[in-house]
A and B are shown apart, each in its own frame.
Chain A
Amino acid sequence: MEILKAEHISLKAKEKFIIKDISFTLEKGDFCCVVGMNGSGKSTLMKCLCRAVDTSEGSVFIREKNIKKYSVKELAKEVSVVFQSSDINMDFSVLQIVLMGRMPYQKIFERDKQEDLLIAEQALRETNTLHLKDRLFPSLSGGEKQRVLIARSLCQNTPIMFLDEPIASLDVKHQFEVMELLHRINQEKQVSILLILHDLSLALQYSNKVIALKHGEMKQFGATNNILTKENIESLFEVKAEITNNNNIILTH
């Protein structure tokens, strides 16, 4: 079932295209990675897809409805976004952050109800962060912060989840921990996930679709195994690549 569709979207700034003519479709339950070099337009694409910035041309559809026709609240029930955690430096507790995920379901002046607390509890359990509920967010480690933000996304209970480099600056153990968590959410809840990723081996291991960007243009889109080939990676990243038998990608200059 088609859940997200981008049709010829472009974003211009000062007469220069930041992203240009991007079109693709995601199905329910897809796990899609956006790859590309720095400055290729990955984060901009994600911002356009969640209407954080308006596109100059083209349209984005969720369940065949243009996202411009959704109210902010309606859109927040369809798409949850995990931006990079370094942006949050306020002393909110983990529980407060996670409960904010219930805001799309509450009236503007409504308090947290029992139902909201139960959903938050479930999200904290699923991300193994229940024991952190009273800790202040800035005091958490990078991996814990990402898990808490994913818990907030779960609390939002959306069919689509966007993540902007969720494993950047994490050590290898925590990278796997976060990727496993996302994989589980994707498999068990059939949540469609679109995430920006620099690690091509992890993209090959976990995703079923890949969007490859270069200089703001979509060079390739399709099944991961067809896109992340030696030739494509070499042309995309301008390095030498080798794919091992156990799906590890080794890049050399």
Chain B
Amino acid sequence: MSLFCIIFAENSKRKLKKIFIYLILIIVIVALCFVACMFGSVDIGAMTEQDVYILRQIRIPRVLMCMVSGGCLAVCGTVYQAVFRNPLSDPYILGVSSGASLGASLAIVLGLDALVLGVPFMAFLMALATVFIIMKLSQVGNRMHITTLLLAGISINFLFSAIISIIMFIDREDMHKIYFWTMGSLSGVKYSDVITVAAFSIMGIIVLRLYAKQMNALLLGDMSAQSIGVNVEKTKRNILIISTLMTSAVVSYCGVIGFIGLVVPHIVRLLVGEDNRRIIPYSIFGGIIFMLSADIVARVLVAPSELPIGTITSMIGAPFFIYLLYNAKQKLHF
């Protein structure tokens, strides 16, 4: 039997399995959405007029934003890991989220928040600048080394946090608005915000999914990728611009929410392998589930008050990051 016949038969089986897994994931997401809508500082049950108002104006937009931003950040993490050929890369660790956050803060101080897309635009500019600074700082010869990459990310994070603190100190009037960006929060999300972030995310994810094969080739190394016909520089540049734009859109409306881009692609990779054509769609589901769960915990844990969602994702993500570093260390030893 030819390889084509074998693969065709395998693909048919795999398709069925895929549909089954997607169905389960959708059921889990629907269940989480239901829980997220029903529970919080006020439990909804009797569906009074007030309950319906809370559901429509507060909970549903918030749940939708969770889904959009979770899927988006998870895909961005996947993409960063492929481009930097480094499993510890994600927009948060590399300081790109901090860059976006600084851009957003500057936009508020300069009064650009009155303009349509003023805040996302500044966030995008600063995030993009951060990506290029990180790339320049961490490049040794043709490769980006893990140590220099992480150190560059940490340094940038510190630097931008310090600048944001100074801005907050100088402009006390806008302090509460800026503080929101440093912690990450989904409270007060409106439908119009969801639509804006969804537009950036959906378009970005579609384009990045189309680049998945090129991303696979990039994992072989720049020279190998070029030898099989991938325009390495152009591909990397396009992918980074798109994913940075997506990250900036999320940061502009939800603040800095860390570690989703690190945790989700890792778990997905363990389950489905290294092929980005499969990692990207599963990361979307994984990101949505992770974000919805974190949001439920953030709202239920200290009800009727709520924790910033960024703290919950960091509480899960930071130990996971330490575990990955520990694994990397073990590999170096043996």
Chains A and B come from one and the same complex: yes
Residues of B1-28 whose CB lies within 8 A of A: 2-4, 7
Candidates B2, B216, B224; contact of A81 at CB < 8 Å: B224
A80→B210 contact, CB < 8 A: no
B228→A76 contact, CB < 8 A: yes
Cβ of B212 to closest chain A Cβ, rounded Å: 9
* Interface hit among A23-31, A112-120, A200-208, A214-222: A112-120
A103→B228 contact, CB < 8 A: yes
Cβ-based interface call for B231 (8 A): yes
Residues of A within 8 Å of B216, CB to CB, are 92, 96, 100
* Interface hit among A56-64, A82-90, A185-193, A231-239: A82-90
Cβ of A106 to closest chain B Cβ, rounded Å: 8
Given the known inter-chain contacts A96-B275, A103-B213, A108-B214, please indicate yes or no for A80 contacting B220, CB distance below 8 A.
no
Residues of A within 8 Å of B224, CB to CB, are 81, 83, 87-88
Candidates B213, B227, B229, B275; contact of A52 at CB < 8 Å: B227
Candidates A80, A88, A130; contact of B227 at CB < 8 Å: A80
Residues of A within 8 Å of B221, CB to CB, are 83, 87-88
Cβ-based interface call for A174 (8 A): no
B7→A101 contact, CB < 8 A: no
**Alpha-carbon gap, A108 to B273, bound state (A):** 22
**Alpha-carbon gap, A72 to B230, bound state (A):** 7
**Alpha-carbon gap, A108 to B230, bound state (A):** 9
Cβ of A150 to closest chain B Cβ, rounded Å: 13
B3→A104 contact, CB < 8 A: no
Cβ-based interface call for B306 (8 A): no
Cβ-based interface call for A6 (8 A): no
Residues of A within 8 Å of B220, CB to CB, are 87-88, 90, 97, 100
B219→A108 contact, CB < 8 A: no
Cβ of A36 to closest chain B Cβ, rounded Å: 20
Nearest A residue to B277 via CB reads A111
Interface size on B, residues (CB 8 A): 25
A100→B228 contact, CB < 8 A: yes
**Alpha-carbon gap, A130 to B3, bound state (A):** 9
Cβ of B334 to closest chain A Cβ, rounded Å: 14
Residues of A within 8 Å of B213, CB to CB, are 103, 106, 109
Residues of B within 8 Å of A101, CB to CB, are 228
Cβ-based interface call for B108 (8 A): no
**Alpha-carbon gap, A213 to B231, bound state (A):** 30
Cβ-based interface call for A79 (8 A): yes
Cβ of B11 to closest chain A Cβ, rounded Å: 10
**Total A-B Cβ pairs within 8 A:** 87
Dominant SS among interface residues on chain A? helix
Cβ-based interface call for A183 (8 A): no
Candidates B4, B227, B275; contact of A118 at CB < 8 Å: B4
Nearest B residue to A115 via CB reads B4
**Alpha-carbon gap, A224 to B3, bound state (A):** 40
Cβ of A161 to closest chain B Cβ, rounded Å: 11
Cβ-based interface call for A199 (8 A): no
A170-190 interface bits toward B, Cβ cutoff 8 Å, 1 = contact, 0 = none: 000000000000000000000
Cβ-based interface call for B223 (8 A): yes
A121→B4 contact, CB < 8 A: yes
**Alpha-carbon gap, A52 to B222, bound state (A):** 9
B231→A72 contact, CB < 8 A: yes
Residues of A within 8 Å of B223, CB to CB, are 47, 52, 81, 83
A76→B275 contact, CB < 8 A: no
Residues of B within 8 Å of A88, CB to CB, are 220-221, 224
Residues of B within 8 Å of A71, CB to CB, are 231
Cβ-based interface call for B113 (8 A): no
**Alpha-carbon gap, A93 to B278, bound state (A):** 14
Nearest B residue to A50 via CB reads B227
Cβ-based interface call for B57 (8 A): no
Cβ-based interface call for A73 (8 A): yes
Cβ-based interface call for A156 (8 A): yes
A92→B227 contact, CB < 8 A: no
**Alpha-carbon gap, A82 to B273, bound state (A):** 24
Q: Which B residues lie at the A interface, using CB under 8 A?
A: 2-4, 7, 210-211, 213-214, 216-217, 219-221, 223-224, 226-232, 273-275
Can you name 20 A-B residue pairings with CB atoms under 8 Å?
A: A50-B227, A72-B226, A72-B232, A75-B229, A76-B226, A76-B227, A77-B229, A83-B221, A87-B220, A91-B274, A92-B216, A92-B273, A95-B7, A104-B228, A108-B210, A108-B214, A114-B4, A121-B2, A121-B4, A133-B3
A-B complex: 8 closest residue pairs judged by Cβ atoms: A76-B229, A104-B229, A121-B3, A81-B227, A73-B229, A109-B210, A117-B4, A72-B231
**Given A77-B229, A83-B223, A106-B213: 6 more A-B contacts, CB < 8 Å:** A73-B231, A87-B224, A88-B220, A88-B221, A95-B7, A117-B3
